[in-house]
Every structure is written in structure tokens, then in C-alpha cells.
Structure 1
Amino acid sequence: MIEQGQYVPEVTLTQLTSEGMQTLTNKELFDGKKVVLFAVPGAFTPTCSNAHLPEFVTLADKIKAKGVDAIYCVSVNDAFVMKAWGDSQNAEEILMLADGDASFTKALGLEKDTAGFGGIRSSRYAMIVNNGVVTGLFVEEGKEFTVSRAEHVLEKL
């Protein structure tokens, strides 16, 4: 599993925008930026839709006021699902990033196998990344939802 002080692995993520499908590299996502990235097991799932993403939407301005350049939400879903989910949650301040084949999640060592529910998915976590280096990592244990919450990340900035 990735640890504080390590660089985010070189893997691309995708985003669907009004200009079409965008493939984003680490350089584009992290170079010269302070970023809060949080990951969820699945778009449109109960905790993710009722609490995790909405809290980041609500606190986005406060998080950015702490010097954060961007907030990213990552899930092992395709870019079409991530765009629809972001639109349904009014997540204009958050970049909704798809890790369709779980390559990013696996490179971080934060994958989990949910078997028949959805296969390989991401663990629930949040991280603070400064210029590509993880400076804060908050991984949930089991089905907990405490350390990856927007309020907790805001306190750590």
C-alpha cells in the first residue's frame, strides 16, 4: 500500500467533459499542485452518494481556502458513470475521475475484491498530495467511514 512520503504511481485516469473523453496523466493531475483526492468503492452507492461525495461538495470552498488547488474523486467506474454521478450531486468543484480498469487503485495497493457485488473496487480513502507526493493518507478500515470524510481531511490541511 502506498505510504506518506511516496509519489503517486504513474497511471492515467479518465474524465468525460463537454469536450469529450479526456485521459489525464500524473503530470497533469499533480505537478505543481496541492490536491485532495478521495476514492469511493462505487458511484451511486449509499454511503458514497449520501455522505462521502456530498460532504466534499459542501466543504469544497473551505478545503480550497486552505491552499488546495483541486479536489479529485476517484472510483473504479467508467467515465460516463462518474460524469452522471457528479452531475447528479452538483459536484462542479470536484474533478470526477474514472479508474475503469482499477489500474490506479491497484498501483496504490488500495484495491479490494467485492466478489459478486462489483468485483475489484477501491477501498474508501482520502489523501493529500503535494506536487505528486502523498503528504496525508487516510484509509478506512473495513466498512468504516471516519478518516476519509471531508471534515477530517479539512482538519489535516
Structure 2
Amino acid sequence: MSATNRFHQVANDALVMISENLNPDAKLALVIYTPGEPELDIVLKDGGLSVDEVVNTLRRRGGLSLDGDNVYKRSVCDVIIGALATGKQNNNPPPADHWSLEFWDIGRAEGAQRDELVAALEHLVTVTTPDANGQIGAEEEHLASLDHARALIRLHRA
């Protein structure tokens, strides 16, 4: 029997002995890692164990805080930031069933608001710029453009 197989057998036997002394509904997991060598990681877990509950337990009792820094949280934040940015640019949407779509949609809505504001400002500048004779366009169009700009300002201040 190889050393790895012996270890698994001993670890499994120890977990069985420990689990016999736990509350009936308790679940058990053993994680062994070697820093910098993820290929050596070992995870042994009870059947029906919820990995989310393990993470919640580490958060509550093991010092895993939302304020701390780790690669997983940094990666999740990077995906969120990327989804917001690409949504604002209205390109590269995630698949329809991907969790980051919600953030892409938020970015897209922000981009649409920006586009609407810029278009209103461009139109306002166009209708209020004097022509070669120093004349400004039709007063009705000028006033309508100002009203539109004011409405957008009110909308975005709310």
C-alpha cells in the first residue's frame, strides 16, 4: 500500500471515530494543504456536506472575514468590476445564465444613462451654437432642448 493510500485510510478511520462523537446532524471535513503546492491538497468530507456551510463556518469561527484579502474574493471582485465596465461599454456580455449578468446589466444601465446625457448635451450645444451670421436656431427647438436637459438633470438627481 502506498504512503498516500495509507494516509487516506488512517485519515478516514480517524474521521469515522471523530464523527461517532459529534452531534447527529454534524458534518465533518478535513482539509490538508501545502502552501504553494495545490496539487498536494487533500479534502475529505462527509456525504451531504455543504461546502457553502464549511465556508460560512470558517467565516464565523475561523477568521475568514469579508474584510480580509484572499485570491478567491479578489477574483470574484475582479469579475464584478469587469462585468460593470464591459456593461457600461455595452460589449462582451456574459452568458445569459451567468451570475455576473446582473452586474453587467447595472453597468449597461449606467452606460445608457451616460449616453443619453451626452446626446442631450450634444443636441443642446448644436441648437444653441450661433451660425455664421451669429443667429441661434429656432427658439422652439432651443427651448425644447433646454427642457429635455433639465428633465434629465432632475431624473439623475433623484
Tell me the TM-score normalised to structure 1 length.
0.19
RCO (CA 8 Å, sep 6+): is it higher in 1 or 2?
1
Q: Looking at secondary structure, tell me which structure has more helix per residue.
A: 2
TM-score scaled to structure 2, two decimals?
0.19
Q: Highest Rg: 1 or 2?
A: 2
Greater strand content: 1
